[in-house]
Amino acid sequence: EARRALAATGYAAPHLPAPYGLGAGPVQQLAIQQESRAQGVRLSDLSIATWVVPSLLAYGSDEQRERYLPATLRGDLQWCQLFSEPEAGSDLAALRTRAARTDEGWRITGQKVWTSAARTADHGILLARTDPDAPKHCGLTYFLVDMKRSRGIGIRPLKEITGASLFNEVYFDDVLLPPDAVVGEVGDGWRVARDTLGNERVHMADQMTFDTGLEALIARSAESDGPTGDGTVGAGAVDDVSRARIGLLAAEAHALACIGLRTTLQQVSGRAPGAGASVRKLVQTVHQQKVAELTLELLGPEGAVDEPGAGERALHGFLMSRCLTIAGGTTQIQLNVVAERILGLPRD
């Protein structure tokens, strides 16, 4: 209900133009964010849709915007991203999933992997090869896929190191997509995908700054004298060296928030996030991993216990943090983006 109310008034995504948002500028958006937090109102997190919406605004048709954006902002449509493949992870443009044009639309055949929310998503964004003879970055097209109604889609959960199955393999066996499933121009999917990936890195980094357990680590460390039953780390369990490490992490988080503000302002001003999003993701991934490591370390033996309570949460957070160097683009790819597009170094 809260998300629906926010969507109806434009506050679900105030930076979007009317009728989807308020057309708010950067200063207005910061004011909305600050006032919302002060009142205990959390603006809705659209998850993967946060990456999809800007790309549909920039490259989608009027019909696609009208069909998908209002429902997405209300929370009625959930999305997944169908980009990575077994042989095209870091080098996404090497993907092999094929899209063949037919009288009915497009026939999709191939496999995707590391797809979050594939089992629950209503729709997916798919990158497929429509011209096998074109250079690898040129023969790609960006599609919208109905994950619930399309025949020929198979989904297999992947069990992760945490024991959960957030990611999935997705198989396309001659799946028919209608002609209007294409976003942008046929063969120009790489341009649209780069826009989506830039938005993904901004979103991931934005969530990481203090949403890493750092605030809880600071607060709980001051509240108790040692590890407690609910998983807190008390002041008595923290020596001076560890306190200094927590302080450095807090200072680092504030610095990262300032770095991220530049990229966020680019996005909310209607400009593509650009390579700055890669810088932000790189440094914040390392930051989140350091927070998870310190939390587990301060718990001592309790951190090795995979049972309900402190140890389980700390262990899960530590294990989950390891995947951040892969999710949203591997560290190696981000370094290449920074080297080529910011430092001007030759392509690797």
Cis peptide before 179 (omega within 30 of 0): no
Structure tokens belonging to residue 148: 């619930």
Closest CA to 204 of 74, 334, 310: 334
One of 85, 200, 252, 302 is an active-site residue; which one?
200
Closest CA to 121 of 170, 185, 61, 189: 170
The residue written with tokens 């798919």 in the block is 126
What is the spatial distance between Cα 90 and Cα 7, in angstroms, rounded to a whole number?
35
Contact 88, 96 (CB under 8 A): yes
Q: Can 200 be counted among the known catalytic residues?
A: yes
In order of 91, 222, 235, 333, the CA distances from 348 in angstroms are: 12, 48, 48, 10
The DSSP result for 125-166, as a single string, is EEEEES-TTS-TTTSEEEEEEETTT-TTEEEEEE--TTS---
Residues labelled as active-site residues:
200
